[in-house]
């Protein structure tokens, strides 16, 4: 007890200097997370990026973050708190933070903001996103090669363009190999509920799919696939540990490269508003090792990846039809980014309907 009192007394003295200590030389780069930084999915991927940033530029910057920030007025407060606490560059890492970011950016014109996966920019607000669909295309190609029944199951979270785009890209990839390939979609209506994700996975397997892919955050579907002896793809992080004999590959979010690039620009005074949408070639997403597949499939997957990186292959290239059979892209034509970013329709081969 005596020790504790001493500690209390000494720290009371320290607090007086706390404010003075805050005004130091290092630039502050801050992050707003929608989930917990150890959620094993979306937010953790961003936090790994933040740690890479610290590692790369730690002598010039320090980082701070607020986690589990709900979207809405809480987000506005959290972002403002960071702006007021001296952050020079703030990354807001959820689509739902878009309007809050824009509002606070107007109040703090000297602070730079970067908003993930949105579409609104301002003189001091840039946006960034990752072409996850490139990875989905490769997964589709692998699925079509590996599936005996020609049907894959897709556990989806919410019908937003990002997810719809992924479903379509997967189907297009698969149909480039097997034109009759089909997928079944189950909307879990959650990003994060291991039980529900597992139930969705079981339902799909019970209905006869022999490949699973997911756009939700936990490894529960991978575990189900392992148990049922089928193959599956990981999401957001390398989930090989959950299915050493199950995972074919995974789309791994690697934001670190982007964070380092932008922070460097910020330190050099060269930061500008951009809307960047990087892909495999920029290293913002990477494919986990191709495992549990024959060598020829692995080779095909690697070739596909190389072609996407070189720009030779663009997943959304005609001839492509929409789900209802109407023409979408003529042979050789590629979709523009605007259509993709607002994607609200399925291509042929998806066994599901989107809410209108």
Partner 1 sequence: MGIVEAILLSVITAATPLVLAALGELVTERSGVLNLGVEGMMVMGAVCAFAATQITGSPYLGILAGIVCGAVFSQLFAFLTLTLVANQVATGLALTLLGLGVSGMLGEGFLGMQGIKLQPIAIPLLSDIPVIGPLLFRQDIIFYLSIALVAGVHWFLFKSRAGLKLRAVGDSHASAHALGVNVIRTRYLAVMFGGACAGLAGAQLSLVYTPQWVENMSAGRGWIALALVVFSSWRPWRLVAGGYLFGAVSISQLHAQAFGLGIPSQLLSSLPYLATIIVLILISHNRRTTLINTPASLGKPFVPDR
Partner 2 sequence: MRIELEKRAKISTLFSILSPFIAFLLMIVFGGIMFALLGKNPVTALYSFFVEPLSEVWSLHELAIKAAPLILIAVGLSVCFRSNNWNIGAEGQFIMGAIAGSILPVVFYDWQSPLVLPLMMLMGMLGGALFAAIPAFLKAHMNTNEILTSLMLVYVAQLFLDWLVRGPWRNPGGMNFPETRTFAANAILPEMIASGRTHWGFAFAIIAAILVWFMMRYTLKGFEISVLGQSERAGRFAGFSSRRMIWFSMLLSGALAGLAGISEVSGAIQQLRPVISPGYGFTAIIVAFLGRLNPLGIIAAGLVLALTYLGGEAAQLSLGVSDKVTRVFQGLLLFFVLSCDTLIHYRIRLVWYRFTASDLDGSR
Give the CA radius of gyration of the chain.
22
Q: How far is the CB of 218 from partner 1 (least distance, A)?
A: 6
Nearer to partner 2, 35 or 150 (CB): 35
Helix (H) / strand (E) element for 197: namely: helix 194-206
Q: In this chain, which of 27, 51, 56, 81 binds partner 2, going by CB under 8 A?
A: 81
Site residues (CB under 8 A) for partner 2, limited to 123-162: 158-161
Contact status: 196 vs partner 1 (CB under 8 A): yes
Q: How far is CA 269 from CA 82, 105, 127, in A?
A: 20, 18, 18
Helix, strand, coil percent values for the chain (each to nearest 5): 45, 20, 35
Q: With both helix axes pointing from N to C terminus, report the angle between 98-107 and 73-84 in degrees, rounded to the nearest 10.
A: 40
Q: How far is the CB of 202 from partner 1 (least distance, A)?
A: 5
Name the β-bridge partners of 276. 128
Picked from partner 2, partner 1, none, the partner binding residue 238 (CB below 5 to 8 A depending on kind) is: none
Contact status: 99 vs partner 2 (CB under 8 A): yes
Question: 């579409």: which residue's tokens?
Answer: 119
Nearest by Cα to 305 from 173, 162, 168: 173
Picked from partner 1, partner 2, none, the partner binding residue 339 (CB below 5 to 8 A depending on kind) is: none
Q: How far is the CB of 31 from partner 2 (least distance, A)?
A: 11
Contact status: 241 vs partner 2 (CB under 8 A): no
Helix (H) / strand (E) element for 155: namely: strand 151-156
User: What six digits make up the tokens of 222?
Assistant: 């991978």
Pairing of strands 125-130, 151-156: unpaired
Q: In this chain, which of 11, 24, 334, 353 binds partner 2, going by CB under 8 A?
A: 11
What is the distance between the alpha carbons of residues 11 and 277, in angstroms, rounded to a whole number? 47
Contact status: 283 vs partner 2 (CB under 8 A): no
Binding site for partner 2 (CB under 8 A): 4, 7-8, 11-12, 14-15, 18, 36-38, 64-68, 70-74, 76-78, 80-82, 84-85, 95-96, 99, 119, 158-161, 189, 341-344, 355-356
Footprint on this chain of partner 1 (rule: CB under 8 A): 36, 38-40, 153, 159, 184-187, 189-190, 192-200, 202-204, 206-207, 218-220, 223, 227, 241-242, 351-353, 355
């Amino acid at each position: 007890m005596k020790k504790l009192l001493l500690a209390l007394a000494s720290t009371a003295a320290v607090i007086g200097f706390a404010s003075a200590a805050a005004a130091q030389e290092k630039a502050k780069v801050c992050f707003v997370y929608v989930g917990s930084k150890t959620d094993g999915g979306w937010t953790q991927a961003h936090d790994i990026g933040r740690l890479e940033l610290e590692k790369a530029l730690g002598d010039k910057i320090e980082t701070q973050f607020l986690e589990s920030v709900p979207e809405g007025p809480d987000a506005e407060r959290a972002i403002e708190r960071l702006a007021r606490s001296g952050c020079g560059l703030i990354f807001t890492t959820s689509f739902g933070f878009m309007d809050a970011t824009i509002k606070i950016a107007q109040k703090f014109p000297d602070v730079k903001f970067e908003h993930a996966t949105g579409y609104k920019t301002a003189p001091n607000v840039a946006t960034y996103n990752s072409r996850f669909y490139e990875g989905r295309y490769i997964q589709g190609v692998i699925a079509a090669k590996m599936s005996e029944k020609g049907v894959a199951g897709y556990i989806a979270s919410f019908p937003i363009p990002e997810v719809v785009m992924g479903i379509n890209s997967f189907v297009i990839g698969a149909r480039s190999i097997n034109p009759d390939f089909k997928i079944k979609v189950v909307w879990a209506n959650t990003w994060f509920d291991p039980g529900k994700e597992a139930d969705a996975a079981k339902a799909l397997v019970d209905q006869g799919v022999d490949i699973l892919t997911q756009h939700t955050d936990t490894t529960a579907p991978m575990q189900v696939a392992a148990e049922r002896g089928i193959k599956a793809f990981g999401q957001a992080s390398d989930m090989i540990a959950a299915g050493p004999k199950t995972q074919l590959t995974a789309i791994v979010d690697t934001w670190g490269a982007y964070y380092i690039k932008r922070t460097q620009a910020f330190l050099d005074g060269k930061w500008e508003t951009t809307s960047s949408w990087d892909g495999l070639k920029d290293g913002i997403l990477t494919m986990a090792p191709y495992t549990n597949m024959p060598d020829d499939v692995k080779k095909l997957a690697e070739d596909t990846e190389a072609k996407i990186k070189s720009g030779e292959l663009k997943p959304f290239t005609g001839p492509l039809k929409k789900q209802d059979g109407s023409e979408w892209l003529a042979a050789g034509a590629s979709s523009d980014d605007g259509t993709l970013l607002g994607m609200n329709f399925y291509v042929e081969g998806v066994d599901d309907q989107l809410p209108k």
